[in-house]
Structure 1
């Protein structure tokens, strides 16, 4: 993998960058506009937002004010829990598109399965409609466990193209990753740096020093080498650039094995079977 422009091909043939820029908890307005512009100037072409982040308008503004042609961009947003259900999801999509100021979307995700509502299959059918109408180039899910995916595969027409989940060296989701590979679902990591919680890890520091890289760069590189798309977030232009500087080195099989020993099968965040915030 030679550059930030490198892509994986989703099961419907759409190309998705291995490295994207996440804007979770980035304030709408100047902060998100400046952050997205810094990312685009660095060379990122994939931007990941969500309705609940409250910054779709700022992301859209940054895109509009950049000189990057729309066809070079890969823009993701997500339908929130309060808009589960067929008609509600379609309306939420329209609202997101208006805020983003886009004619089409590259990837639309169901943000959480919200099993307490029992509507994620119906919500998925709305995404299938948007996909069949050509309003979105790819559809997927976020925070779905294997049994949620099995439910969709059994009851719906289209297998999700992406599953975006909590994924980092201490929670490598091996079984879920294997299931996704079997069904050609691209796994994508949110919170790849465990919100900074792994940056002082002695093993990662040691590997980083060996490669003359930062621990963040080692983790991002590990994601990509495990076949996982990753979307680190920062509002610092230097760190945004640093996070992208991961295509000029490779972790050895020994490095990869050592990092795998950090796995604790332990979530930092909510279990999707229990998360029911709307």
Structure 2
């Protein structure tokens, strides 16, 4: 697996809040941080990493290219700008944030520009985010399967995306799960609370353990030290086959993130 199993998400965090979150996460043991151009927090993430005084080679940094930078003449300059903000010569992973079919994005063109960034040494690995099966196949066809490290997609007990996950795992493309807690909606689920009580942990830890046990990488965010630590310890939880089967039944195809102009036609 190329993508670290556990990382810190920074979506919706800004200013001092994101600096504190990243610094605390690195302090308690996180070594992977996920950001994006559209989050407008790359500079703060870079500052937090610099202030942590960890060696760059200990960290795995992911950023995502925003749609306005997809044109071949814009992608590499925009990534170089991200690198300046993140205070690094290269990130470990760069993703195309959304396929944006309604904006007329050529998958082949944007993937080739991203591959060029990799060949220039600006990013160690490249991948995609929010791609359905058809568009993932287009990405594979345009630059080769060996260059696609992951597809970062929304996955939670309420949105299990079996067809897409099955396709990605068959292709040996890492699955990165974001919104694993569905904006907190799964935290009060009676089944997850019941399983959590059995394991003497929280429902959040159970949701993360469910994702990890399927081989997904996860990138939950938090601003609280105790939650950051608790999320990290979800890696130690082993759910039984019966518990995993019960959680599988929670799937309701409930999607939290679906921007009309950017999202593909999802695989049902």
Fold conserved (TM > 0.5)? yes
Counterpart secondary structure, 2:101: coil
Mapped pair 1:95 → 2:84: no
Structure 2 partner of 1:237: 225
The question of whether the paired residues in 1 share the 8 Å contact of 2:107 and 2:138 is answered with no
Structure 2 partner of 1:148: 135
Segments of 5+ residues of structure 1 without an aligned counterpart are 1-8, 11-15
Structure 2 partner of 1:182: 170
Mapped pair 1:170 → 2:158: yes
What are the within-5 Å matches in structure 2 for residues 112-261 of structure 1? 112-116=98-102, 117-158=104-145, 159-261=147-249
Q: Deviations over 1:191-223 (max 9, x none)?
A: 110010110000000000000000000011111
Alpha-carbon RMSD across the aligned residues, in angstroms, is: 1.5
Write the distance in 1 (CA, Å) between the matches of 2:221 and 2:29.
Answer: 15
Comparing both structures, which one devotes a greater share of its residues to helix? 2
TM-aligned CA deviation for residue 235 of structure 1: 1.1
Structure 1 partner of 2:4: 17
TM-aligned CA deviation for residue 174 of structure 1: 0.7
Mapped pair 1:78 → 2:61: no
Write the distance in 2 (CA, Å) between the matches of 1:273 and 1:166.
Answer: 17
TM-aligned CA deviation for residue 271 of structure 1: 6.1
Write the distance in 2 (CA, Å) between the matches of 1:92 and 1:79.
Answer: 8
Counterpart secondary structure, 1:165: strand
TM-aligned CA deviation for residue 248 of structure 1: 2.8
Q: Deviations over 1:131-170 (max 9, x none)?
A: 1222211100110000101111222235411000100011
The question of whether the paired residues in 1 share the 8 Å contact of 2:61 and 2:91 is answered with yes
Q: Deviations over 1:41-79 (max 9, x none)?
A: 110000000000000000000111113211110000010
TM-aligned CA deviation for residue 274 of structure 1: 5.3
TM-aligned CA deviation for residue 90 of structure 1: 1.0
Counterpart secondary structure, 1:199: helix
Segments of 5+ residues of structure 2 without an aligned counterpart are none
- Total equivalences in the alignment: 262
Write the distance in 1 (CA, Å) between the matches of 2:245 and 2:50.
Answer: 43
**Moved segments of 4+, more than 4 Å:** 271-274
